[in-house]
Protein backbone atom coordinates (compact mmCIF):
# COMPACT_ATOMS: atom_id res chain seq x y z
CA UNK A 1 0.00 0.00 0.00
CA UNK A 2 2.89 2.36 0.80
CA UNK A 3 4.33 1.68 -2.66
CA UNK A 4 1.11 2.80 -4.31
CA UNK A 5 1.06 6.02 -2.26
CA UNK A 6 4.73 6.75 -3.08
CA UNK A 7 4.17 6.04 -6.77
CA UNK A 8 1.13 8.29 -6.78
CA UNK A 9 3.14 11.13 -5.21
CA UNK A 10 5.94 10.57 -7.71
CA UNK A 11 3.41 10.83 -10.52
CA UNK A 12 2.17 14.16 -9.22
CA UNK A 13 5.70 15.52 -8.85
CA UNK A 14 6.77 14.36 -12.28
CA UNK A 15 3.69 15.77 -13.95
CA UNK A 16 4.66 19.20 -12.60
CA UNK A 17 8.25 18.94 -13.90
CA UNK A 18 8.10 19.78 -17.58
CA UNK A 19 8.83 18.12 -20.94
CA UNK A 20 8.71 14.38 -20.26
CA UNK A 21 5.52 14.46 -18.25
CA UNK A 22 3.60 12.16 -20.62
CA UNK A 23 6.30 9.54 -20.76
CA UNK A 24 7.11 9.57 -17.04
CA UNK A 25 3.45 9.69 -16.06
CA UNK A 26 2.74 6.72 -18.33
CA UNK A 27 5.67 4.76 -16.89
CA UNK A 28 4.57 5.42 -13.32
CA UNK A 29 0.96 4.63 -14.23
CA UNK A 30 2.06 1.37 -15.83
CA UNK A 31 3.99 0.45 -12.68
CA UNK A 32 1.04 1.24 -10.41
CA UNK A 33 -1.34 -0.66 -12.70
CA UNK A 34 0.97 -3.69 -12.77
CA UNK A 35 1.28 -3.70 -8.98
CA UNK A 36 -2.49 -3.56 -8.53
CA UNK A 37 -3.04 -6.29 -11.15
CA UNK A 38 -0.41 -8.55 -9.53
CA UNK A 39 -2.00 -8.00 -6.11
CA UNK A 40 -5.46 -8.87 -7.43
CA UNK A 41 -4.19 -12.00 -9.21
CA UNK A 42 -2.38 -13.12 -6.05
CA UNK A 43 -5.49 -12.53 -3.97
CA UNK A 44 -7.54 -14.73 -6.31
CA UNK A 45 -4.95 -17.53 -6.13
CA UNK A 46 -4.96 -17.29 -2.33
CA UNK A 47 -8.74 -17.62 -2.21
CA UNK A 48 -8.59 -20.60 -4.60
CA UNK A 49 -5.99 -22.33 -2.42
CA UNK A 50 -7.92 -21.67 0.78
CA UNK A 51 -11.04 -23.27 -0.71
CA UNK A 52 -9.27 -26.43 -1.87
CA UNK A 53 -9.67 -29.53 0.26
CA UNK A 54 -7.35 -32.47 0.72
CA UNK A 55 -9.30 -35.60 -0.27
CA UNK A 56 -8.14 -39.19 -0.37
CA UNK A 57 -10.16 -41.84 -2.22
CA UNK A 58 -10.18 -45.20 -0.43
CA UNK A 59 -8.42 -48.24 -1.88
CA UNK A 60 -11.81 -49.94 -2.23
CA UNK A 61 -13.11 -47.13 -4.45
CA UNK A 62 -9.87 -47.07 -6.45
CA UNK A 63 -10.17 -50.84 -7.07
CA UNK A 64 -13.63 -50.17 -8.51
CA UNK A 65 -12.11 -47.63 -10.90
CA UNK A 66 -13.10 -44.42 -9.06
CA UNK A 67 -10.53 -41.70 -8.37
CA UNK A 68 -10.57 -37.98 -7.65
CA UNK A 69 -8.72 -35.12 -9.32
CA UNK A 70 -9.83 -32.00 -7.46
CA UNK A 71 -11.97 -30.97 -4.55
CA UNK A 72 -13.04 -27.81 -2.77
CA UNK A 73 -15.07 -26.47 0.08
CA UNK A 74 -17.90 -24.70 -1.70
CA UNK A 75 -19.32 -22.62 1.04
CA UNK A 76 -18.25 -22.90 4.67
CA UNK A 77 -21.67 -21.70 5.81
CA UNK A 78 -23.43 -24.44 3.81
CA UNK A 79 -20.90 -27.09 4.95
CA UNK A 80 -20.51 -28.59 1.46
CA UNK A 81 -17.54 -30.44 -0.01
CA UNK A 82 -17.45 -30.88 -3.79
CA UNK A 83 -15.27 -33.65 -5.22
CA UNK A 84 -14.62 -34.35 -8.90
CA UNK A 85 -14.87 -38.13 -9.23
CA UNK A 86 -13.53 -39.90 -12.30
CA UNK A 87 -14.44 -43.50 -13.10
CA UNK A 88 -12.90 -46.00 -15.49
CA UNK A 89 -15.66 -48.52 -14.72
CA UNK A 90 -19.37 -48.03 -14.14
CA UNK A 91 -20.21 -47.38 -10.48
CA UNK A 92 -23.60 -47.06 -8.82
CA UNK A 93 -24.10 -46.85 -5.09
CA UNK A 94 -23.66 -44.82 -1.95
CA UNK A 95 -20.47 -42.84 -1.43
CA UNK A 96 -19.41 -41.45 1.93
CA UNK A 97 -17.14 -38.49 2.61
CA UNK A 98 -15.55 -38.39 6.06
CA UNK A 99 -14.08 -35.25 7.55
CA UNK A 100 -11.16 -35.57 9.98
CA UNK A 101 -9.45 -33.00 12.19
CA UNK A 102 -5.66 -32.55 12.53
CA UNK A 103 -5.55 -35.35 15.13
CA UNK A 104 -7.13 -37.75 12.62
CA UNK A 105 -10.41 -37.92 14.52
CA UNK A 106 -13.60 -38.10 12.49
CA UNK A 107 -15.70 -34.95 12.89
CA UNK A 108 -18.33 -35.42 10.19
CA UNK A 109 -19.84 -37.68 7.51
CA UNK A 110 -21.90 -37.18 4.41
CA UNK A 111 -23.42 -39.97 2.32
CA UNK A 112 -24.81 -39.46 -1.18
CA UNK A 113 -26.00 -41.70 -4.01
CA UNK A 114 -23.65 -41.68 -6.98
CA UNK A 115 -24.01 -43.08 -10.48
CA UNK A 116 -21.04 -42.99 -12.82
CA UNK A 117 -20.76 -44.70 -16.17
CA UNK A 118 -17.59 -46.25 -17.55
CA UNK A 119 -15.16 -43.47 -18.54
CA UNK A 120 -17.37 -40.95 -16.74
CA UNK A 121 -16.66 -38.02 -14.41
CA UNK A 122 -18.87 -35.76 -12.29
CA UNK A 123 -18.71 -33.18 -9.56
CA UNK A 124 -20.31 -34.73 -6.48
CA UNK A 125 -21.53 -32.52 -3.62
CA UNK A 126 -21.32 -33.85 -0.07
CA UNK A 127 -23.45 -31.80 2.35
CA UNK A 128 -22.38 -32.11 6.00
CA UNK A 129 -24.46 -31.57 9.15
CA UNK A 130 -24.95 -27.90 10.05
CA UNK A 131 -23.32 -28.54 13.45
CA UNK A 132 -19.99 -29.53 11.89
CA UNK A 133 -17.29 -26.87 11.98
CA UNK A 134 -15.68 -27.01 8.52
CA UNK A 135 -12.72 -24.98 9.76
CA UNK A 136 -11.71 -27.91 11.97
CA UNK A 137 -11.64 -30.30 8.99
CA UNK A 138 -8.05 -31.03 7.99
CA UNK A 139 -8.61 -33.95 5.58
CA UNK A 140 -11.45 -35.73 3.86
CA UNK A 141 -11.72 -39.32 2.68
CA UNK A 142 -14.14 -40.72 0.13
CA UNK A 143 -15.22 -44.35 0.37
CA UNK A 144 -18.16 -46.63 -0.32
CA UNK A 145 -21.13 -45.80 1.86
CA UNK A 146 -23.38 -48.29 3.60
- For each of the chain's 146 residues, which pLDDT tens digit applies? 555 555 555 555 455 555 555 565 566 556 555 554 454 444 344 434 447 888 999 999 999 999 999 999 876 778 999 999 999 999 999 999 999 999 999 999 999 999 999 999 999 999 999 999 988 999 999 999 98
- Number of independent structural domains in the chain: 2
Which domain covers residue 44, as residue numbers?
Answer: 2-51
29 and 76, same structural domain?
A: no
Alpha helices in the chain (DSSP H): 2-15, 21-51, 59-63
Nearest to 88, CA basis, from 54, 63, 112: 63
- pTM for this prediction: 0.65
7 and 71, same structural domain?
A: no
Amino acid sequence: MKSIIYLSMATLLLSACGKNEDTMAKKVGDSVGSAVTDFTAGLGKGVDKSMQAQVQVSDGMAKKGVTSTTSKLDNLAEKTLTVYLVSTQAYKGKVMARASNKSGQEIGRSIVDVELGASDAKYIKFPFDPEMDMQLADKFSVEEGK
